[in-house]
């Protein structure tokens, strides 16, 4: 990823970036309201996007796309927290490796996560989720 310094304040999950790449209008509107400069891409998401390419043309397009966002890197604290999330939530909530690493990175950086898969994250204590005002269809966690 080209940019190393975090300049934004909303981390987007892989599904948000995939929707952007598919020119999904509600997602584009949500990102425009946040501001492209305020969006951060986890390094795990970059890996997932690269994994999804099938040819050199897609590779070049994904490389340029990824390079246009600030990167949220993994660090030791994030990896340790991801391990804790796996131990705590794998059996009860079936948290995956990528989701645990993304969530841990967001918690360690004290940022917010924008995802369309709220159910994959809303049980994680300390993780702040971002709900775009124009996407009321995203299910919020029910407060107890």
Q: Could you give the domains of the chain?
A: 10-129 (3.40.50.1010)
Cα angle, residue 67 at apex, residues 62 and 73 outer, rounded to 5°: 110
Interval 21-58: pLDDT, tens:
999 999 999 999 999 999 999 999 999 999 999 999 99
Q: Specify the pTM.
A: 0.87
Q: What are the pLDDT tens digits along the chain (144 aa)?
A: 444 444 469 999 999 999 999 999 999 999 999 999 999 999 999 999 999 999 999 999 999 999 999 999 999 999 999 999 999 999 999 999 999 999 999 999 999 999 999 999 999 999 999 998 877 666 655 444
Q: Measured between alpha carbons, how far is 118 from 20 in angstroms, rounded to an integer? A: 18
Q: Which residues contact 9 (CB under 8 A, 6 or more apart)?
A: 38, 40, 111, 112
Exposure b/e, 15-39, CB count within 10 A at least 16 = b:
bbbbbbeeeeeebeebbeebeeeeb
């Amino acid at each position: 990823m080209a940019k190393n310094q975090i300049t934004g304040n909303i981390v987007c999950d892989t599904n948000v970036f995939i929707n952007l790449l598919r020119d999904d209008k509600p997602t584009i509107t949500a990102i425009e309201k946040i501001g492209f400069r305020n969006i951060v891409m986890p390094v795990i998401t970059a890996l997932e996007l690269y994994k999804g390419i099938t040819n050199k043309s897609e590779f070049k397009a994904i490389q340029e796309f990824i390079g246009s966002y600030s990167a949220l890197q993994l660090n030791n604290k994030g990896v340790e927290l991801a391990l804790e999330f796996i131990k705590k939530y794998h059996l009860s909530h079936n948290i995956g490796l990528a989701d645990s690493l993304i969530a841990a990175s967001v918690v360690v950086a004290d940022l917010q996560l924008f995802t369309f898969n709220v159910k994959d994250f809303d049980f994680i204590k300390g993780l702040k989720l971002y709900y775009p005002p124009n996407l009321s269809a995203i299910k919020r966690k029910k407060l107890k």
